[in-house]
Structures are given as C-alpha cells and as structure tokens.
Amino acid sequence: MARTIYVLNGPNLNLLGTREPETYGHATLADVEELCKVTASQFGLEADCRQSNREGELVDFIHEAHARKAAGIVINAGGYSHTSIALHDALAAVKIPAVEVHVSNIYARESFRHHSFTAKAAFATLCGFGIDGYRLAINGLAAKIGAREIAAGAKA
C-alpha cells in the first residue's frame, strides 16, 4: 500500500504564526508540518509537506503526488481555494483522495471565502479548527484509505 501523503499549503501560509493571530493562531507552518508528520506516523504513513505561493507549483505538486503514487492529499490552497479552477482540475484529474483544510472558519468570514473550487474536488473539507484541522484531516484520510492506527512503539 502507498504510504506517502502530500500535505500542500498555498499562498501566504508560510506567514502562519507571524501575523493575524486572532484569525490564524500562533502556530507556525513548521508547527503544522511537524503535527502532520507525527499524525501520519501514527498510521504508518509519511507526510511529505510542501508550501508554495505559486499556483502552478501547487499544480506541479499534485501531479508529483500522482507520479509518486501518493495515498492521499491534504490541501489548504489558501486564497487559491476560492479562485483556482486549475487546482480543482489537477485534484480531479489525479483522483487521489483529498481533504481540504482551512485554519479559519471560512463561512464566518467574508462572502468571497464561502466558495471553494478545491473543495469540489476533495472528498471532505474541514475548517475552523485552527491547525488541529490538519490532524483531523489526516485521521479522516487514514480512515478513508484504510490505514490503521499502529500501536505506540511500533512506528516506523
């Protein structure tokens, strides 16, 4: 069974923990990536974490996930969630089970954040849980792909 999941973060998420803590909290992108790696390891999975401020590079990451036969994708495409048909099309094309995450509750914010193109290509969406949404997304993704939690001490 494929064991790698891609965790993709889009534009400005490299700023996590440095600005707007009232909206995005105090945790940094490094904290998010560590949380994802630890959570993935609990299911015998490896989280390959990428961030880009460029739409095309995010498309390339999705293609790479397909080429490397990744088991799943967790994606927070940031502002591109609300604008990018290209990211929607890439996710739809590769048919890798994907979960969309947003740190903030996009439905409690401006109306232009209420629609997500990437959500339409994901099997689930989480928002408003802060960075814990990434942990919850990996738990849900693991269940979807049949990766079982492994006992402490037995992790790779």
Which residues contact ligand CA2 by CB under 6 A? Answer: 12-13, 15-16, 19-20, 24, 76, 78-79, 81, 102-104, 106, 113
Which of 119, 86, 87, 89 shows the shortest CA–CA distance to 101? 119
Out of 24, 80, 88, 134, the active site residue is 24
Residue 42 or 76 with smaller CB distance to ligand CA2: 76
Q: Report the nearest approach of ligand CA2 to the CB of residue 152 (Å).
A: 30
| Spatial contact of 82 and 115, defined as CB atoms under 8 Å apart | yes
Residue 80 is a catalytic residue: no
Out of 6, 80, 88, 102, the active site residue is 102
For residues 120 and 28, what is the distance between their CA atoms, to the nearest angstrom? 27
Alpha carbon dihedral 29, 33, 36, 37, in 10-degree steps, equals -170
For residues 111 and 64, what is the distance between their CA atoms, to the nearest angstrom? 33
Residue 20 or 149 with smaller CB distance to ligand CA2: 20
Q: Report the nearest approach of ligand CA2 to the CB of residue 85 (Å).
A: 17
Q: Report the nearest approach of ligand CA2 to the CB of residue 134 (Å).
A: 10
Residue 107 is a catalytic residue: no
| Spatial contact of 82 and 13, defined as CB atoms under 8 Å apart | no
Q: Annotated active-site positions, please?
A: 24, 102
